Amino acid sequence: MKHTISVIVENKPGVLHRVSGLFSRRGFNIESLAVGTTENPNISRMTIVVEGDEIVLEQITKQLYKLIDTLKIFDLPEQKLIERELALIKVHANDKTRQEITQIVDIFKAKIVDVAEDSLTIEISAEKDKVDNVQKLLEKFGIQELVRTGKIALQRGGI
Amino acid sequence: MELSGAQALIESLKKEGVEYIFGYPGGKVLGIYDVLYHEKAIKHILTRHEQGAAHAADGYARVTGKVGVILATSGPGATNLTTGIANAYMDSTPIVAFTGQVSTDQIGRDSFQEADVTGITQPITKHNYLVKQAEDIPRVVKEAFHIASTGRPGPVVVDIAVDAMKKKINFKYPDKVSLPGYKPTTKGHPRQIKAAAKMIGLAKKPVIYAGGGVVLSGASKELKEFAEKLRIPVTTTMMGLGAFPEDNDLALHMLGMHGTAYANYAVQESDLLICVGARFDDRVTGHLPTFAPKAKHIHIDIDPAEIGKNVRIDVPIVGDAKQTLKDLLEKVKPEKDKHNAWLKQIEEWKKKYPLKYKDDHELRPQYIVELIDELTEGKAVICTEVGQNQMWAAQFYTYNEPRMWVSSGGLGTMGYGFPASIGAQFGAPDKMVFDIAGDGSIQMNIQELTTAVNHKLPIKIVVLNNNYLGMVRQWQELLFERRYASTDLHNNPDLVKVAEAFGAAAFRVTKKSEAKKVLQQAMKIKDRPVLVDCRIVEEENVFPFVPPGQAINEMLID
């Protein structure tokens, strides 16, 4: 089972190493990890998607709390999640395919952010499944380059 | 007060009450050594290898309960510490290691004697720091000692760039630490304590399984009171030896792979296991699904991550062992004679399966350990190496008090015992300190004889010399059809001559009949270390032995 956890850490050098090192040495699987600063510049938020049952999740949480730089951990419940992933997809395009690609972009409320003679670069920010879908639909045109951020998430409503 | 970073470091250590630093100098810590040159309040103990310094600080910490302090240079100085740091991490020993680092403008350029010390030590420390500014030194020292010694103790590494040691700062030592992400829970939740008390009241065959956490927390008195009040038998892990007096009628001694048969049977038959400050390590549990199959589990530990890590727990209590046992004592209601049938069963197992060895005319290691027990009246500090020597020392000496047993548990570090005994002797100058060693492991840090000789430390090194890497040989005998691959040490050096060359006293024992006299002679030497080379029966095995992957009641008794 997949869990999305939010790990609030002190924004100190080496903190990403401490967290990622903990996952690798304890044999926990990270599906994605996104990190950035928060409203407080001294604090960072890591959004980590992990695979495991309740027991594994409990161990992950407890081990993360043992890191001195960890301030708070939230296991974000699926139904109360606002989640986004950002992708930039550079797809092969010519006169024949350009229109079809533009249609896909419109349907998914994505954006074309760069146009070249033989390619289009598409930006999409959406839930992971939707990004997966767009990527799949674009594959047949030939994806030249692709980058995804990994999921970031917050819980809905007041804190 | 205006001080250089190096001076600020030493002043900070004085504020922490540090008496000894175990270390080894080098280019990037010269500034600190220059301050130590004039320093009277802190003594620097020069070892002959950084690993020796790390283990000595660890041994000092284990016998005193204080924080052990290490100093080493950058690069190889720091990497040589890593075994000692990992050892302290596995056994939750409070140590703080200071290492020099190349100057901030040289970091990351593969400079001479540069190593990524915080990177390397990150998985084997409770926390670590890279200090690039002199201004941070007092705060970091304060935090390092606080982190190392509170909660579940452990090692902290402070890597200091050489330019931060030179810069002048206005020194002020902080009164308090501010670590919002570090607040260990010491008081167990009242609801959990009530639930545990209720479960204890219902149990018919309870066993207390006590570990190193009882020693670290200073909870021996409370444990004894608790066990005696409720008449519950107590088994200890190897790390917990001495946490409960072994001459008490409720003592089951050590459990696990080389534990007593009666401890293992009791655990396997029990209907309630009360684990205090232990972590269900594989050497204790054997094949995990078969461990204590009939028992409910109460687990008291200060580290929440230990609870539920290996075994499902019915009543978890996160808290300090001493405090929690005190609180629990107030809630339990002892019923007279409630466990009589259970204790009688245990008494029968004790009679039927005592620890034993062949009591003949041969010089056997168990006999030597028993002799040491008899001659020291159980009052010595016993350090050990790792392997058969360690298990015989664990089984045949009577540990009645905590902090008398100094041995590498989790990491199983050969070469730990002798340097640890140096730290132990500094920490307990009035006690007799032994290192019970094997011929393999004593050679791993034998250079520290110089350290012990220089400081006139009367450590007794008793080598149980069987000309083999005994424990590995035992496994080869029992599990690999006696193929003794690379465990034959018959080309050992003459250890008596080696010790004498270092300036230590040395004796050799080859016959059982002379062992007592020689040990008595060795114990009279007060001004230098003494090595006793005991030529024991070469293929003696440690029993009981639970073969790997088996349940702990499926042991080989002999």
Q: Is A53 on the interface with B (CB under 8 A)?
A: no
Amino acid at site A32: S
Cβ atoms within 10 Å of B41's Cβ, excluding its own: 11
Name the segment(s) of chain A with CATH classification 3.30.70.1150: 81-155
Cβ–Cβ below 8 Å for B305 and A62: yes
Cβ–Cβ below 8 Å for A55 and B118: no
The CA distances from residue B350 to B92, B266, B393, B555, in Å, are 32, 10, 19, 15
Take residue B44 and report the two structure tokens written for it.
């620097």
Same domain, B300 and B369: no
Take residue B446 and report the two structure tokens written for it.
């034998």
Same domain, B246 and B143: no
Cβ–Cβ below 8 Å for B123 and A25: yes
- What's B259-282 look like in SS3? CCHHHHHHHHHCCEEEEECCCCCH
Q: Does a structural domain hold residue B552?
A: no
Nearest by Cα to B88 from B108, B110, B61, B107: B61
Q: Does a structural domain hold residue B481?
A: yes
What's the gap between Cα B200 and its chain centre? 30
Q: How far apart are the first and last CA of chain B?
A: 67
Q: Measured between alpha carbons, how far is B98 from B29 in angstroms, rounded to an integer?
A: 9
Same domain, B146 and B208: no
Same domain, B254 and B300: yes
Q: Does a structural domain hold residue B359?
A: no
* pLDDT above 80 (res A159): no
List chain A residues with CB under 8 Å of B182: 68
pLDDT of residue A78: 85
pLDDT of residue A157: 87
Nearest by Cα to B263 from B245, B286, B236, B298: B236
CA distance A61 to chain B (A): 8
**Residue among B92, B128, B182, B313 with most chain A CBs within 10 A, to mutate:** B182
Take residue A87 and report the two structure tokens written for it.
């992708």
Q: Is the dihedral of CA B413, B417, B420, B424 positive or negative?
A: positive
Q: Does a structural domain hold residue B176?
A: no
- What's B81-124 look like in SS3? CHHHHHHHHHCCCCEEEEEEECCCCCCCCCCCCCCCHHHHHHHH
Q: Does a structural domain hold residue B237?
A: yes
Q: Does a structural domain hold residue B184?
A: no
**Residue among B121, B122, B299 with most chain A CBs within 10 A, to mutate:** B122
Same domain, B122 and B258: no
Tens-digit pLDDT profile for residues B327-385: 999 999 999 999 999 999 999 999 999 999 999 999 999 999 999 999 999 999 999 99
**CATH code of the domain containing B64:** 3.40.50.970
pLDDT of residue B35: 98
Take residue B425 and report the two structure tokens written for it.
């002797």
Domain A2-76 listed as CATH 3.40.50.720: no
The CA distances from residue B249 to B68, B231, B373, B376, in Å, are 35, 10, 18, 22
**CATH code of the domain containing B340:** 3.40.50.1220
User: 3-state DSSP call for residue B216?
Assistant: helix
pLDDT of residue B69: 99
Name the segment(s) of chain A with CATH classification 3.30.70.260: 2-76
| HSE value, Cβ hemisphere, 13 Å, CA-based, for B421 | 33
Task: Give the structural domain span for B7.
Answer: 2-170
Same domain, B341 and B247: yes
CA distance B179 to chain A (A): 8
Nearest to B119 among A17, A66, A71 (CB): A17
Same domain, B262 and B347: yes
Q: Is A26 on the interface with B (CB under 8 A)?
A: no
If one counts the domains in chain B, the total is: 3
Q: Does a structural domain hold residue B357?
A: no
Q: How far apart are the first and last CA of chain A?
A: 26
Which residues have C-beta within 8 Å of that of residue B296, sequence separation ≥ 6? B199, B203, B271, B272, B273, B314, B315
Same domain, B161 and B260: no
Q: Does a structural domain hold residue B178?
A: no
pLDDT of residue A110: 97
Q: Measured between alpha carbons, how far is B492 from A157 in angstroms, rounded to an integer?
A: 72
Per cent of chain A over pLDDT 90 is 94
Same domain, B402 and B437: yes
Number of H helices, E strands in chain B: 22, 20
Cβ–Cβ below 8 Å for B118 and A14: yes
Segments in chain B below pLDDT 50 = none
Tens-digit pLDDT profile for residues A8-64: 999 999 999 999 999 999 999 999 999 999 999 999 999 999 999 999 999 999 999
* pLDDT above 70 (res A125): yes
Q: Is A9 on the interface with B (CB under 8 A)?
A: yes
The CA distances from residue B291 to B265, B377, B552, in Å, are 11, 35, 7
Tens-digit pLDDT profile for residues B248-268: 999 999 999 999 999 999 999
Cβ–Cβ below 8 Å for B305 and A59: yes
Q: Measured between alpha carbons, how far is A127 from A125 in angstroms, rounded to an integer?
A: 7
Pick the residue from chain A with its C-alpha nearest to B181: A71
pLDDT of residue A65: 97
Cβ–Cβ below 8 Å for B304 and A62: yes
Cβ–Cβ below 8 Å for B181 and A69: yes
Domain A81-155 listed as CATH 1.10.230.10: no
Cβ atoms within 10 Å of A97's Cβ, excluding its own: 15
CA distance A147 to chain B (A): 28
